[in-house]
Copies of this chain bind each other. A is one copy, B any other.
Amino acid sequence: MKLYGYWRSSAAYRVRIALNLKSLTAEHISVHLVKDGGEQHSQAYANLNAQELVPSLVIEQGDQQQVLTQSLAILEYLEEAFPQVALLPSDMYEKSIVRSMAMLVACEVHPLNNLKVLQYLANELSIEPDTKAVWYHHWINEGFTALEKMLERHSGKCCFGDEPTLADLCLVPQVYNAKRFNVDMTAYPNIQRVNEHCLSLKAFAEATPERQADAT
């Protein structure tokens, strides 16, 4: 397997954690999201992934090449293909709660704060850095307020119970980003507690951005 990613990409970070938890190895190929207007827009990468986003997970079996895109779709694939370390509960309803937490991050928070949106706010709408920070904090706080309530009800050591699930794989990279942009985390004790526990696990620690080969 080859994982096309970038050290600071939250979506690639999610997949790195899953690979580690499931003891799967992949060759990591760095796609620099900033250099030269973003290597993800190069013709070579666009041929691989029409969405021009990271991550892409490429699985080679003999002559065949399967290209998987969108981090949550990749995580669902890994869950089905390598079920030995389960990242979803077996109960259908519990599964939906975990997915809902994951999607709260992946569909409500992260899309508003990723690099391309922050670039658009600055370059196209001439939004000043201070106002951009207010924007960034607003969507994090809205999402984390809701997630904190869900964790009050469902969390153990992790977002749902005591073992890592897809929800933790989405949460930890989002907290990394929140801290990078100086979001005050004191209102979210459950999120902080779960984040700290997860980062104490080797699979999460080894997936952190700073420990990737392309970190600068």
A residues apposed to B, CB below 8 Å: 50-53, 66, 68-70, 72-74, 76-77, 80-81, 92-93, 95-97, 99-100, 102-104, 106-108, 110-112, 117, 120, 124-125, 127, 131, 134-135, 138, 146, 149-150
Contact yes or no, B108 A50, CB < 8 A: no
Nearest Cβ distance between residue A31 and chain B, in whole angstroms?
Answer: 16
What are 11 A-B interface contacts by the 8 Å CB criterion?
A: A50-B146, A51-B104, A53-B108, A68-B93, A68-B100, A69-B100, A70-B100, A70-B107, A77-B95, A107-B107, A120-B138
Given A72-B99, A72-B107, A111-B111, 12 more pairs with CB closer than 8 A:
A50-B146, A51-B100, A68-B100, A70-B104, A73-B102, A73-B103, A77-B96, A103-B106, A106-B107, A112-B112, A120-B135, A125-B135
Nearest Cβ distance between residue A40 and chain B, in whole angstroms?
Answer: 11
Instruction: From the candidates B70, B92, B95, name the one contacting A103 in the complex (CB within 8 A).
Output: B70
Kindly list chain B residues whose C-beta atoms are within 8 Å of the C-beta of A125.
Answer: 125, 127, 131, 135
